[in-house]
A and B are shown apart, each in its own frame.
Chain A
Amino acid sequence: MSNKPNSYTAGPDEHGHFGIFGGRFVAETLMPLILSLEKAYGEARRDPAFAAAIASHQTHYIGRPSPLYYADRLTEEVRARAPAGQGAKIYLKREELNHTGSHKVNNVLGQILLALRMGKKRIIAETGAGQHGVATATLCARFGLQCVVYMGAVDVARQKPNVVRMQLLGAEVRPVQSGARTLKDAMNEALRDWVTNVADTFYCIGTVAGPHPYPAMVRDFQSIIGREVREQVEAQEGRLPDSLVACIGGGSNAMGLFHPFLDEPSVEIFGVEAAGHGLDSGAHAASIAGGRPGVLHGNRTYLLMDGDGQIEEAHSISAGLDYPGIGPEHSWLHETGRVTYLSATDAEALAAFQQLSRLEGIIPALESSHALARAVDLAAQRPRDHIQVVNLSGRGDKDIDQVSALLAASNNEGAGA
């Protein structure tokens, strides 16, 4: 909580650091590529034609702006259980309505347009839930690029619909058999591919992690979420929101929502990590709550690890949050105290998944359900004129097989008890 910065939006510095976090911890083979990517992105940022191309595709291909929706039945449900006079107005930022069904496409659009500027013909990506993989496969199809997606073999099994989707879009899905065969291992394998195919390949990272400039670049591409929310809350309520809530795996939907509000001290900001079976169970994916600073995948950040610095396996009901790290800017926002990091368990997320489906007719992704689980608690502790915005980062169609199996299993347990 020491030395508060003058601004929370000035980072990273020229070395890619947010405080002690971030950096460029990669093999020498990749360094020249990362430096050329940094240069190309810097040039693109200053080119109005690049911004115009992004804006045009956002409107006509992705379907932006995504709506900001007042969830009045959810709000009433919270108020019915809250102390008298309490119960914030809950708004949902409808990122699940984007083409491909999540916020991931915002970042992929930016990176693919950058890859085209750099003359790269082959795109690789890692994916956990498959949402980033689907978004990448989609834009590669749209722009005629070769696409290879690395996905842990465990995730291939639990997110089958997205695997089929990627294949229909012409991408090659390579199941990763190393380690725990989830998102972390998919990222290792994508990095190995990149080291091997340096000349023609662009690595499209799906979250605000990895070596500089990825954390800042992905954040910039996702910040359209927060910029739209500012305008939409202003239009609907005539002022700033009072609080923001988003789920965090690597943390790209959260960074995108938070960043345009970081320098607004009146706005409370909450990130929600995946607590899996519980923070004390050892089976969770809450890097800030249960980890400490270390170095992995190109950056220094909070990581789950043992006393020897060996990375531990994360666990979450949600494949998209099943990662033992978090973006470096989040680590810094945690240490500076600007953002409060909470967590939600598998069971809480599953309950929130069902609650939103029944009350609002919206099936949320299991990832976003973690944010919803904490959002309703926070809303119940705030006055009725408090405006809370929850990032509904993805839709839950991809999760229905897994959820129906989990619900059947818990019903059987109940019947046997």
Chain B
Amino acid sequence: MSRIERRFARLREEGRAALVTFITAGDPDYDTSLAAIRALNEAGADIIEIGMPFTDPMADGPAIQLAAQRALKGGQTLARTLDLVRALRETDADTPVILMGYYNPIYIYGVERFLADAKAAGVDGFIVVDLPPEEDTELCLPALQAGLAFIRLATPTTDDVRLPSVLANTSGFVYYVSINGVTGTAVPDFEAVAASVARIKRHTDLPVVVGFGVRTGDHAAAIARGADGVVVGSAVVEALRGSLDADGKAGPGTVPAVTALVRELAEGVRSVARRG
């Protein structure tokens, strides 16, 4: 059983949804982001998504665009992102780690070498925004072969005809994008999201988590009623940004700013009991 499967099995026993939190690697510097990521699990995150910064994040809104720019300015690279996962694994052997980003840095690193290094570092899976099923031979199939999860995004535009091809090579869980749009820009319609999650669940036994636009504990609770997990990205990244000084430097308040929000989100998720 993989780390992701073990984590969802445990959450099923606890009768609750997963809280998945996102932080951009190296935002605003390597040490701060490592400290923040290390604090996530204790604050209540069940799965950690780590953003691989890219210059041209076409599916991201301003919050995550700026986080990527801060990280790149701070010297973050894909190799340093793998270093960060390795460092996290020294203190946390169990929390699933998903790398999220865009294909070009991986392509340039070299797919085979990247998969080997990511696996050795302790990565569990990937979300690569610009690799739809039509491009599965690029990274998805090699990742599955290497025993790593490839988590696909399903969106409001993914209809029942297309859904099977989106789900075909998906593993770990399915990430339902709750809005048409970029990250962190709109609050989803929770009823519509619940209906969409139910629709996806008719096609797959994999856990379905929901993200894009979840900002508060109340949002998280609303999503957690129907979904197997809630992803929060832009709001966490904005909490981090709000703690930076005028020069964009982190201070003693940075990690607490992140963990305070994650605690609120975790309470929201835990307030909703789910039938096993």
Known: A28-B177, A310-B72. A296 touches B132 (CB 8 A): no
Q: What residue of chain A has the Cβ atom nearest to residue B182's Cβ?
A: A192
- Any chain B CB within 8 A of the CB of A407? no
* A310-B59 in contact given A23-B135, A28-B154, A178-B65 (Cβ < 8 Å): no
- Give the bracket for the number of chain B residues in contact with chain A: 35 or more
Closest chain B residue, CB of each to CB of A191: B58
- B188 contacts chain A at the CB level, 8 A cutoff: no
Closest to B177 in A: A29
Question: For residue B77, which residues in chain A have a CB less than 8 angstroms away from its CB?
Answer: 308
Query: Which residues from chain B contact A80 at a C-beta distance below 8 Å?
Result: none
Partner of A309, one of B105, B133, B156, B157: B105
Cβ contact within 8 Å between A195 and B105: no
How many angstroms between the C-alpha atoms of A311 and B54 in the bound complex? Answer: 8
Beta-carbon contact of A27 and B58 below 8 Å: yes
Residue pair A188, B134 in contact (C-beta under 8 Å)? no
Write the chain A residue with the least CB distance to B175. A28
Known A-B contacts A308-B78, A309-B107, A310-B105; the reply to A31 vs B162 at CB < 8 A is: yes
Task: Indicate which residue in A27, A28, A179, A198 contacts B56 across the interface (CB closer than 8 Å).
Answer: A179
Digitize B104-119: 1 where CB-to-A-CB distance is under 8 Å, 0 elsewhere: 1111110000000000
Tell yes or no: A44 within 8 A of B by CB. no
B2 within 8 A of A: no
Query: Is A224 in contact with chain B by the CB < 8 A criterion?
Result: no
Q: Which residues of B contact A303 (CB under 8 A)?
A: 104
| Bitwise interface map of A from 1 to 43 toward B, beta carbon under 8 Å scored 1, else 0 | 0000000000000010000000111111111110000000000
Is A196 part of the contact surface with B, judged by Cβ < 8 Å? yes
Task: Assign chain A's interface to a size class.
Answer: 35 or more
- Binary per-residue interface labels of chain B (181-219) against chain A in the complex, 1 for a CB within 8 Å, 0 otherwise: 110010000000000000000000000000000000000
A29 close to B131 (CB less than 8 A): no
A48: chain B residues at CB < 8 Å are none
Interchain CB contact under 8 A, A27 and B104: no
Pairwise interchain contact A28-B132, C-beta atoms closer than 8 A: yes
Identify the A interface with B (CB < 8 A).
15, 23-33, 178-179, 184, 188, 191-192, 195-199, 294-298, 303, 305, 307-311
25 CB < 8 A contacts A-B: A24-B132, A25-B103, A25-B130, A25-B131, A25-B135, A27-B132, A27-B153, A28-B158, A28-B166, A29-B157, A29-B177, A31-B162, A32-B162, A188-B56, A188-B58, A195-B59, A195-B180, A196-B181, A294-B104, A294-B107, A295-B103, A295-B130, A307-B108, A310-B54, A311-B104
